[in-house]
Amino acid sequence: MRSTLDKLISGTGLLLAAVLLVAGGLLTWANVFIGDQVEEQLLAQDIVMPEGPGLEGLPKADAEALEEFAGSPMDSGAEARAYADHYIQAHMNASGEELAGEPQTYSEASAKARELGAAVAENPAATQEQKDEAAAWGDLRETLFMGSTLRGLLLYAFAFATMGVIAGYAAVASFVGAAVLLLLSLLGLRHARKIHTTGGTTPTGTTPTPVGAHA
């Protein structure tokens, strides 16, 4: 009975080890595929991380976040995130502050541009200053639209790159788990074979008692 139980448990362990090996292989493929795709798509954009003069005028925290990648071609999720959050966003904030005194979102700039544009269109006597203000808000709207779009694409690349890294860690965990289960299963089978081999033998140095000897 004990031998059968050991074999059953060991067989289940071998099955789970096989499942983990397959999962580890698929996760490794996902890690490599995502990494290659992110690198290929980012390099196709031909973006070089800012350095030197390109960092001037940025807030200190943003400049320091970009210094790590200064001058290198953008080809990783970490670089995409840094460029999106500390370069594009910084310039978007600066554009809003220059016109409105504080950072503006695309929706805020768009609403203001529509409001001023409609006011100028409905007022034939609008001054040049009013027209220039409406045009400035229109330009800010376009700037924020393009910046938000590019930021979104770069952050998508960062998200996919992060998924690839997680898949890599999961692959390592799967392979380790498969190795542990395989080892335990082999030990279980060895134990089952040992019990099966020695289960019906008589200990050395003893003589079986004949039936009826004590009758």
The mean pLDDT value of the chain amounts to 88
What integer pLDDT is reported at residue 193 of this predicted model? 75
Query: Residue 85: left (phi > 0), alpha (psi -120 to 50), or beta?
Result: alpha
What integer pLDDT is reported at residue 199 of this predicted model? 58
What integer pLDDT is reported at residue 144 of this predicted model? 97
pTM of the model: 0.79
What integer pLDDT is reported at residue 42 of this predicted model? 95
What integer pLDDT is reported at residue 102 of this predicted model? 95
What integer pLDDT is reported at residue 196 of this predicted model? 64
Reduce the DSSP state of residue 107 to 3 states and report it: helix
The 3-state secondary structure of 17-38 reads: HHHHHHHHHHHHHHHHHHHHHH
What integer pLDDT is reported at residue 65 of this predicted model? 94
- For the chain, residues with pLDDT lower than 70 are 1-6, 196, 198-215
Give every CB contact of residue 213 below 8 A, 6+ residues apart in sequence: none
What integer pLDDT is reported at residue 3 of this predicted model? 65
